[in-house]
């Protein structure tokens, strides 16, 4: 379990508050990876995402190292989404905050075609968020970002967390514009 005040503890508390339940009861057993863990959260995210056939998410930051891992080739990348079923998957990402700025800026001219080549439907949202939220099939994946990048990553199959993640992604998607 994450130490009080650690990025993981902060993330658990944020998710519990957003879901509206007691965090200890709901999220105590949810897998969590923090900066400094081996393997770290940056290494775990592609594994968790590639395990699904549908990914919908809100992405507030797009650190180059994480983008390379997610957009790489092989089993642990966005390219692998849906490969297990053989019919391809759906990936819809709403970029907000710094990630939206990056998508609209000079690096966006390179990033947008790469996303499209990998079958990622990219959207841009003018708001911001300290957390990233993904719904990977029926699993909610939530990441806490700080100035150094992805600080903690939590994933849960709890229905309340999945419903909150789906509603959050839906709100951002409805207010976003195609990139």
| Residue located via tokens 């994933």 | 155
pTM: predicted TM-score of the whole model, two decimal places: 0.83
Q: What is the CATH number of domain 7-178?
A: 3.30.870.10
CB 134 within 8 A of CB 56: yes
Give the residue-averaged pLDDT of 6-33: 81
Give the residue-averaged pLDDT of 69-77: 64
Tokens standing for residue 166: 């789906």
pLDDT at 12: 87
Which segments of 51-96 does DSSP mark as H helices, in order? Answer: 64-71
2 pLDDT above the threshold of 90: no
Give the residue-averaged pLDDT of 108-122: 87
Tokens standing for residue 111: 């990033």
86 pLDDT above the threshold of 50: no
Give the residue-averaged pLDDT of 45-74: 77
pLDDT at 76: 60
Confidence of residue 85 (pLDDT cuts 50, 70, 90): very low
Q: Is 110 helix (H, G, I), strand (E, B) or coil?
A: helix
Tokens standing for residue 71: 């957009």
Q: List the chain domain ranges.
A: 7-178
Sheet holding 149-156, edge to edge: 32-34, 149-156, 139-146, 131-136, 54-59, 90-95, 120-124, 177-178
Give the residue-averaged pLDDT of 101-110: 88
């Amino acid at each position: 379990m994450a130490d009080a005040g650690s990025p993981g503890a902060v993330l658990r508390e944020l998710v519990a508050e957003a879901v509206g339940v007691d965090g200890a009861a709901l999220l105590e057993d949810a897998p969590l990876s923090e900066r400094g863990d081996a393997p770290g959260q940056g290494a775990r995210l592609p594994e968790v995402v590639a395990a699904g056939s549908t990914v919908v998410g809100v992405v507030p930051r797009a650190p180059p190292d994480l983008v390379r891992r997610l957009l790489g080739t092989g089993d642990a990348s966005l390219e692998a989404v849906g490969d297990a079923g053989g019919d391809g998957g759906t990936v819809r990402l709403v970029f907000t905050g710094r990630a939206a700025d990056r998508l609209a800026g000079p690096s966006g001219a390179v990033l947008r075609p790469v996303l499209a080549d990998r079958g990622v439907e990219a959207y841009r949202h003018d708001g911001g968020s300290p957390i990233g939220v993904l719904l990977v099939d029926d699993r909610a994946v939530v990441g806490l970002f700080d100035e150094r990048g992805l600080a903690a990553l939590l994933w849960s199959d709890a229905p309340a967390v999945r419903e909150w993640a789906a509603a959050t992604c839906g709100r951002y998607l409805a207010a976003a514009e195609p990139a």
